[in-house]
Structure 1
Amino acid sequence: MKTIKTYREFWPYYLREHAKPATRAWHYVGTMIAILVLLTVIVTGRWLLLPLVLVSGYFFAWLSHGLIEKNKPATFTYPLWSLMSDFRMLYCFLTGQMGRELEKAGVRAVQTAE
C-alpha cells in the first residue's frame, strides 16, 4: 500500500476500510460512548475516568475490525486522521450523508440483515 500523504486521500481509504455496515455501526457505538464519557468527565470533574474515553471508543472499533471487517485498524498507521474520521463518519451517518460518501469512495452497498 502506498503512503497516504493528505487527509483528502485518507478519507476514501478510511471508508473502504469500513465497508461493512456492522463495522460502521460498532464504530458509531464506540464513538458515542466515548463522547458521553468525555461529557461525564467534564461535568463531574472525575478526571480519573478520562482514559475510559479512549478505551470505550477504540474497544468497539478494534473489535469490529478483527471480527467483522477482518482488517487492521487505520488507527495504527494514521492515528490522528483515523480519530478525525471516526467523528466525521458518525456525523455523516447522523446527517444522512453516509451513503453518498461511501459511493464517492467506491464502497458498494451491501445487502445484509445487519
Structure 2
Amino acid sequence: MARYTSYSAFFDFYLSEHSQPRTRALHYIGSSLGIAALIMAVAQRQPLWLLAGVIAGYGCAWIGHFFVEKNRPATFTYPLWSFVGDYHMFTLWLGGRLAKRRAAAEQRLTRP
C-alpha cells in the first residue's frame, strides 16, 4: 500500500478498496450499528454500548474486506483516516453522491 500524505489522496484509494456493492453494504450496516450503539450509550449512560458499536462496525467492515473484496482493510495502516473515510463514504451514499465521487476517484487513480 502506498503512503498517503493527504486525506484526499487516501480517500480515492479508500473508495477503490470498496469496489464491490456487497462490501459497501456491509460497511453501511456496520456504520449504522455504530451510530445506533453511540445513541444507546448516551441514552442509557452505558459506555459498554460503545464497545459493542466498535465490534459491530469493524466486524461488518472486515467481513466485507476479507470475504467479499478479498483485500486488507485500510484500518491496519491508516486507522483514523479509515474511520473517517467509512463515514465519509456512508454520507456520500446517503446523499446519492457516491457513484459520482467513486468515478472521479477512479479517474484520478488511473491517470498516468
Does the pair score TM above 0.5? yes
Partners of 2:2 and 2:48 lie apart in 1 by 39
- Unaligned stretches of 5+ residues in structure 1: 108-114
Number of positions where the alignment pairs a residue of Structure 1 with one of Structure 2: 107
Q: List, as ranges, runs of 4+ consecutive aligned residues in structure 1 with deviation greater than 2 Å.
A: none
- Could you state the TM-score of these two structures normalised by the residue count of structure 1? 0.90
When structure 1 is superposed on structure 2, of 70-79 and 43-52 the one drifting more is: 43-52
Partners of 1:71 and 1:2 lie apart in 2 by 14
Question: Deviations 1:65-101 (Å, cap 9, x if unpaired)?
Answer: 0110000000000000000011011100000000101
Equivalent runs, 1:1-114 vs 2, <5 Å: 1-106=1-106
Partners of 2:60 and 2:21 lie apart in 1 by 14
Partners of 1:46 and 1:100 lie apart in 2 by 39
Query: How far does residue 23 in structure 1 lie from its aligned partner after superposition?
Result: 0.4
Question: Deviations 1:6-43 (Å, cap 9, x if unpaired)?
Answer: 10110100000001111001000000011001100101
CA RMSD after TM alignment? 1.1
The residue type equivalent to 2:8 in the other structure is: R
Partners of 2:79 and 2:90 lie apart in 1 by 17
Cross-structure match for 1:111 = none
